[in-house]
Amino acid sequence: MSSLGQLSTRLDRRLQVVGELTKALLALRAELTGKLDALKLTTADVDTARVRIIEFLAGLTSALNGTPPASEEQRVFLAKLAQSGEPLTDWAEDFGKIVGQLQARAPVESSQLDKIMRVVGFLQGEAAEDVRRLRSR
């Protein structure tokens, strides 16, 4: 595959992941704030969101704990944390706690959702870089 094709495929994948995670976070935040009806979301949407976030964070937590990254998204996140100098163990602990709460169907706090949104922001930044690269070709 050409480098342009690889870049396009990677961009498509990143945008898909960002979209899925953003939608999941929106559903969880709507539940937290009591706005499911206003956003025409159902408890089934929230359940689907929980599963998506649990899957994503479980893989990310594993990578934070030293397992080689299993996805490009995990690699990007680890690189961004390395650049910022933030301790991986703090993120792993926070994500482990969030996963536990979601699995127990316990409410998550807005600050916890914000932390997950930071990860999505890192991925959005990488997608923007991919778009820039595509346009420069």
Tell me how far apart the alpha carbons of residues 50 and 131 are, in angstroms, rounded to a whole number. Answer: 30
Do the Cβ atoms of 24 and 119 come closer than 8 Å?
no
pLDDT tens for 1-41 read 567 778 778 888 889 999 999 999 999 999 999 999 999 99
Q: Which of 36-50, 71-85, 88-102, 123-137 has the lowest mean pLDDT?
A: 123-137
pLDDT in tens, 77-111: 999 988 999 899 999 999 999 999 999 999 899 99
Instruction: Tokens for 39, please give them.
Output: 């956003």
Give the predicted TM-score (pTM) of the model.
0.89
What is the predicted pLDDT for the residue at 121? 93
**Residue 125 token pair:** 């930044």
Q: What's residue 41's pLDDT?
A: 97
Spatial separation of the C-alpha atoms in residues 126 and 113, rounded to whole Å: 20
34: three-class secondary structure by DSSP: coil
The dihedral through the CA atoms of 72, 89, 118, 109 has a sign that is positive
